[in-house]
Structure 1
Amino acid sequence: MKPARLIGSVILACLAASSRAETALVLNSGDENISLIDTASYKETGRAPACKEPHHLMATPDDSSVIVACAISNELVFFDPRTGQEQKRVKNISDPYQLGFSPDKKWFVANSLRLDRVDLYKAADFSLVARVPAAKTPSHMAFDKASQYVFVTLQESDEILAIDLKTQQPVWKMSVGPTPAGIYMTPDDKYLLVAIMGADYVEVIDWRARKSVKKITTDKAAHNFLARGDGRHVFVSNRSMKGSISLVDTQTLSEVEQYDVPGGPDDMEIRADGKELWATARFARKVQVLDLQQKAVSRSIPVGRSPHGVFFLKHAARR
């Protein structure tokens, strides 16, 4: 190859890599910090301090910030998703464990797992509106499309709780399988999918009729959800040490694929092109990168202790 052509090829390769590169943020609950990972080299480039006992992270609705929930220090820490630099802290958010914004962006909800409570805030300024008792052990949440209800899993009482956001009152509870964790509203707004961590399935709930209609067998310790981005499929992390991730069809309500992902896969993120799924391995101090074309883990990225959240800007649609 001629030198000029070789140089041109190198430049094009570098440009392609740089266009793909960005920073992934991974929350290390056990180390009270976040890992910054270059998504092109798949290497950790640094860490940023977070807070006392951080659990879960999520982006603001416009993706301008990533919020880390700080359960013991009673605060929210905002990070720039492009650089990982801290932006601000919001104090006096009591025991935030899991976070969520309503689809209409009016409500910010924080589950207080340790205090058996769900706190409702105005999303505009994080001012407290109501505290709803939610025994026992409120964990994950989902919303209906109309932003009328937030649905919360109660891990230790094996129930889901529905709260009316307009009245800020609980309206119903129903029993589900043992140790419910993640909860997901299907794209058609018809069913709630509940990951049953104490077993090996996803329970399908007709939330308007308030009844269980099906159990989708996945794998041991079904735990959390992430939309595939195609408006039809959703990933389910099965958080055992052996570990796997299931792909569930929300129209047929069936598992269509399953991938081996060891180390306790928990929270997930998916590339905008849909080719890679990243999953935090809670028990292995790693992020597992699943190649969705090869249907196998292609890389394992060392991070901190008990990684409990992952985010990057160039992700697939949340549908």
Structure 2
Amino acid sequence: MSVFVRRSVVSAVAACGLLTAFPSFAAPSSPIAAPAANTVVVLNSRDATVTLLDQATYQEIGTYPVGKEPHHLMPTPDNKSLIVAAATGNSLLFLDPKSGQIQSQVKDIVDPYQIGFSPNQKWFISNGLRLDRIDIYGYDGKNLKLAKRLPLPSMPSHMAFTADSSLAFISLQGSDELAAVDLTTQKVKWIMPVGKQPAGVYMTPDNKYLLVGVMGSDYVAVIDWRTQKIVKKIKTGDGAHNFRPQGDNRHIFVSNRVAGTINILDLNSLESVGSISVPGGPDCMEITADGKTMWVTQRWLKKVSVVDLATRKVIKSIPVGRSPHGIYFNNRASEL
């Protein structure tokens, strides 16, 4: 799944600075009959579709069209909706997080590649990867209002926040940098180089370090964000990309898209303590609440793999659409 923002929530977005209630558009008709069990939601970014899988049987429930380039998704804080951000479709689609059924849609949201709320839920950010900007919205508990449209050097991608919600950190894939944005002033506080094509960003639970997946190389950069220095490089594998915490407040997984591996990092020692082979461009990851299995999208194989975390082996490979990216299910492990 996408960016890992602890205590994140998502809502409908206001275009052009207008206040918008959540949600604001009527739901399209549901194209697939509601399944009875927990459902795995997979975003097929090149097909502009969502595929629903039965978590227990690994069988496809159905596939239906959404806006173009659905890349990332995240649940609302009450877990009553799951939001799919369609980047070039310029829209947000709201799904039932248990069944994957469509609830509603918000149109005219420009380039929502990645989305997230600050931990205090006061600010909402939409990263516009293709437009080289981020949109910052104020949130009053019900509505969102555009506060600032902020240009950034090139290709703002993933994000993370400080625990006190004072700063947002944005990886800049095109300029090989990381930007810190002051959410009070809505201005860029600093920009620093981090390595070629930075992608996933994660704040450690102690709020001390930022982890950045350096996709154009083979490592995770450990950044002291207070001094703006890289204090360590954790070698993982080529194409270090995205993060998913295990849910034990101790370990985090990083996908290496080029290497076809997933590394397990210890957040205390900041070392790699294991590796899992998942070929075909592993990207977003989701973990079951019991901590036994991980589901991984494989961008280059049109598949999702299921990993047994005890043996660190792929136990099932499931065909989906082209370039599967975000993945989610309701019975999921904590993002800490």
TM-score, normalized by the shorter chain, greater than 0.5: yes
Residues 48 and 85, structure 1, Cα contact 8 Å, conserved in 2: no
CA distance, structure 2, for counterparts of residue 126 and residue 47 of structure 1 = 31
1:170-181 equivalences under 5 Å are 170-181=188-199
Q: Distance in 2 between matches of 1:221 and 1:282?
A: 12
- In the alignment, structure 1 residue 164 sits paired with structure 2 residue 155: no
8 Å CA contact 2:40, 2:52 repeated in 1: yes
2-structure distance, mates of 1:32, 1:24: 17
- 2:216 aligned residue: 198
Aligned to 1:85: 101
Greater mean deviation of Cα atoms: 284-293 or 90-99: 90-99
Within a 5 Å distance, the mapping from 1:1-319 to structure 2 comes to 21-123=37-139, 124-240=142-258, 242-319=259-336
Counterpart of 2:19 in structure 1 is: none
What 5-or-longer segments of structure 1 have no aligned partner? 1-19
Distance (Å, rounded) in 1 between the aligned partners of 2:333 and 2:253: 13
| Residues 89-124 of structure 1: CA deviation (Å, up to 9, x unaligned) | 122321110111111122221100001001112343
State the distance in 2 between where 1:213 and 1:141 align: 20
User: Relative contact order (C-alpha < 8 Å, sep 6+): which is higher?
Assistant: 2
Quote the Cα distance in structure 1 between the aligned partners of 2:105 and 2:153: 28
The answer to whether the 8 A contact 1:116-1:137 is kept is: yes
- The letter for the 2-side match of 1:228 is Q
Q: What is the CA–CA distance in structure 2 between the aligned matches of 1:301 and 1:22, rounded to whole Å?
A: 16
Partner amino acid, structure 2, of 1:309: G
RMSD: 1.2
SS in 2 for 1:108: strand
Quick one: distance in 2 between partners of 1:78 and 1:21? 19
State whether residues 52 and 70 of structure 1, in contact with CA within 8 Å, keep that contact through their aligned partners in structure 2.
yes
- Residues 138-157 of structure 1: CA distance to partner in whole angstroms, max 9, x if unpaired? 01101111111110000111
- For 1:14, the equivalent position in structure 2 comes to none
Q: Alignment partner of 1:288: what SS? A: strand
Whole-Å separation in 1 of the counterparts to 2:270 and 2:190: 24
Distance, in Å, in 1 between the alignment partners of 2:79 and 2:276 is 29
**Structure 1 residue 165, shift from structure 2 partner:** 1.1
**Following the alignment from structure 2 to structure 1, what is the Cα–Cα distance between the partners of residues 107 and 47?**
21
In 2: Cα distance, 1:192 partner to 1:70 partner: 27
Partner Cα distance (1:169, 1:43) in 2: 47
Q: CA deviation at 1:308?
A: 0.8
**Residues in 1 aligned to 2:233 and 2:181: alpha-carbon distance in whole angstroms:** 24
Contact 1:61 1:101 in 2 (8 A): no
* CA shift for structure 1 position 21: 4.0
1:239 CA displacement: 0.6
User: Within 2, Cα distance between the matches of 1:237 and 1:72?
Assistant: 25
Deviates more, 1:74-83 or 1:263-272: 74-83
Query: How much does 1:215 deviate?
Result: 0.2
Structure with the higher helix share, 1 or 2: 1
Pair member with larger Rg? 1
Q: What percent identity do the matched residue pairs reach?
A: 55
Q: Supply the distance in 2 between the matched residues of 1:43 and 1:134 (Cα, whole angstroms).
A: 42
The 3-state SS of whatever aligns with 2:77 is coil
Residue range with higher mean Cα deviation, 309-318 or 85-94? 85-94
- Report the residue type matching 2:214 in the other structure: I
Q: Does structure 1 retain, via aligned residues, the 8 Å contact 2:264–2:274? A: yes
CA contact (8 A) 1:101 1:109 kept: yes
Amino acid across the alignment from 1:188: D
- 1:4 is aligned to none
Corresponding position of 2:31: none
What 5-or-longer segments of structure 2 have no aligned partner?
1-35
